[in-house]
Structure 1
C-alpha cells in the first residue's frame, strides 16, 4: 500500500494551534481535547513528515524552521475549510443552490432589486452571489454561471444575451452650470470627467464619436467599477459616462441627470454565461428562464407580478 504523506485534519489543527499557543496544554484547552491527544497528533505529524516541527524548550514549544515553512499553508488550509463549512451552512434547507458571478454594479443596481421575484418563483432555490470584474475561469472557480458582458465570455462557454449596453453622460444637478441642458460636447470636455479604471477608453470613444480631439479633455478621478463612478457622480465630483441601465434609478429619482442628448452604443451586451457542465443544471434552467422573461421589467413591476 502506498504511504500517504498528507496530514490529517486533526494533525493540522494540533500543529496550527500549538504554533499559535506555544503550549500543548493551552492548545488542548482551545481545541477541547486532552493534552495526550494533541501530543499524539503532533508526534504523528512529525513522524509522517520525518522532521521536527517544534523544539521543546522548558515545557514550551518553539517552532522550528521546518515548522515555520509549513505554518502559512496550514493556516490557509484550515481557514479555507472553515470558510467552506460556513458557506454550506448558510445554504440552510435549500434543495438547490446556484452560484453566480456578476459584474458588481449590475448586481447591485439591476439584479438584486429583482431577486425577490425570483425567490417567489423558485422558493427552493438559493442564490450565492459574488462580484467579478474579470472573466470567470469555470475550470478553477466553483461558479455555475456568470452575468457579464459578452466580451468576457471564455472559450467553450454558452452565452445567452440579455441587455444591450447604452452609455449616457450623467452628473449631479448641483454640478451643472446655469443655462440648462443639454450641454455641448465642448462644454462637457471642460468638466471633470470621472474615469472607470477597467474601461479607461470610454470617454475617448465618446469624444471621437463627437468628432472632438480626446486629448483636450479634462480627466477626473478614477474608480474601479461603475458603482463607484455613480457614487462619485452623485457627490458632484464630475460627469460620469455609464451604462444607462445602471443609472436608471438615479435618473428616475433626480439624483443624476443626463447632460447630453447623445448616447453611445456599448461594445457588447450583458449576458448569462455558463460552462458546459451547467447545461443540465435544473437550478440554472430556472434562473435562465426567469431572467430572460424579466429583463425588461422594472423591479416594482416584477414585485406586482409575483
Structure 2
C-alpha cells in the first residue's frame, strides 16, 4: 500500500537528477522535462517528507544532511528499477524464462555449449543464467533451478543426482610426455583452486602421500582458470574430468596420472517445489538428464 509520504517515481528522478547536477535547469535537461516540473517535483517531495533536501543559494542546489541521507537510499532504488526493466526487456518479448544458477566453470565449459540444442526444442523460452558458488536460497533468489554440487543443497528444495564428481590429474604435452607416478607429480607445480583448497591434499592422502607437499603452485579462482593455466604449461591441474573432456579430446591436455579421483561430491540439480509446475523446467530437467546419460553412452 502506498503511503501519503511515499515519493513518486517522478519525484525520485527529479531529486537524484538535481543532486547530481546541482541545478533544476540541468536536471530538467537530463530528464527531458521543464524546469518548473522539476521544481514542483522537488517541492512536493520535500513537503511529503517534511524536511528540506537541498540548501538553495543563487540557483545552486546543495544537499542538506537529510538530502545526503535520502540520496543513499533513493539512488540504489532507481538503479534497481532500471535493472529490473532491462532484465524484462532482455526477454525479447518472450513470455517464459528459465532462471538458472550454475557453477561457473560447469556453466561455461559444459552447459553453455549445449544450450543451443535445448533452445531449439523451446524457441519461445529465454534463458537467464548466473554463476553461483554458494547455496541458493530460493525464497530470496529468483532462480527456478540450480546446478551445483552436493554440499550446496538447499533446505526445502528437491535434489536430483546428476553425476558423481571425479577429478583427473592433467598437464600440457609441453610439461609431461606421458603418465607419471604420484611421487613424480609432486615434483611439478600443482595448480591450486582457491575456492577448494583441499583438493590436492585430499588427493595426496588417497595416494598415501604427505598432503603438506601438495600446496605449492599458482592459485586460481575457478576451474576454467586452472584448465587455462594447465594448457599454458604452468603446472599440473586436478580438475573434474567432465570439464576437461574438450581439452583432452583436442590433445591440449594429457592425463598425467591414470584414473580418476572421486571426491565424494556429485553434481546435483537443485530446485524449489514451485518449479515442478513449470513446463519449461520439466523439459530442461529431462533434457539435462539425457545429456548427462549421453556422456557414458
| Normalised TM-score (structure 2) | 0.96
Within-5 A mapping of 1:183-262: 183-262=180-259
Cα distance in 2 for partners of 1:53, 1:166 equals: 60
Pick aligned residue for 1:264 from 238, 261, 264: 261
Structure 1: gaps (5+ residues): 302-306
| Residues 278 and 191 of structure 1: CA distance in aligned 2, closer, same or farther (over 3 Å) | same
Are the equivalent residues in 2 in contact too, given 1:146–1:273 (CA < 8 A)? yes
Given the alignment of the two structures, is residue 56 of structure 1 paired with residue 56 of structure 2, yes or no?
Answer: yes
- CA-to-partner distance for each residue in 1:191-225, whole Å, 9 max, x for gaps? 11111111110001111000011112351111111
Aligned-pair CA distance for 1:93? 2.3
Cα distance in 2 for partners of 1:89, 1:218 equals: 47
Are the equivalent residues in 2 in contact too, given 1:190–1:217 (CA < 8 A)? no
Within-5 A mapping of 1:1-306: 3-176=3-176, 180-297=177-294
Look up the SS of the partner of 1:130 in the other structure: strand
Corresponding residue pairs, total: 296
Moved more, 213-222 or 182-191: 213-222
Cα distance in 2 for partners of 1:7, 1:256 equals: 59
Aligned-pair CA distance for 1:229? 1.0
Are the equivalent residues in 2 in contact too, given 1:192–1:218 (CA < 8 A)? no
Cα distance in 2 for partners of 1:187, 1:59 equals: 76
Are the equivalent residues in 2 in contact too, given 1:193–1:238 (CA < 8 A)? yes
Are the equivalent residues in 1 in contact too, given 2:189–2:234 (CA < 8 A)? yes
Aligned-pair CA distance for 1:74? 1.6
Look up the SS of the partner of 1:139 in the other structure: coil
RMSD: 1.6
Are the equivalent residues in 1 in contact too, given 2:200–2:215 (CA < 8 A)? no
Aligned-pair CA distance for 1:3? 4.3
Aligned-pair CA distance for 1:2? 8.7
Q: Which runs of 4+ in 1 moved over 4 A?
A: none
Cα distance in 2 for partners of 1:173, 1:4 equals: 71
Cα distance in 1 for partners of 2:143, 2:191 equals: 32
Moved more, 214-223 or 9-18: 214-223
Are the equivalent residues in 1 in contact too, given 2:188–2:235 (CA < 8 A)? yes
| Residues 223 and 4 of structure 1: CA distance in aligned 2, closer, same or farther (over 3 Å) | farther
Are the equivalent residues in 2 in contact too, given 1:99–1:142 (CA < 8 A)? yes
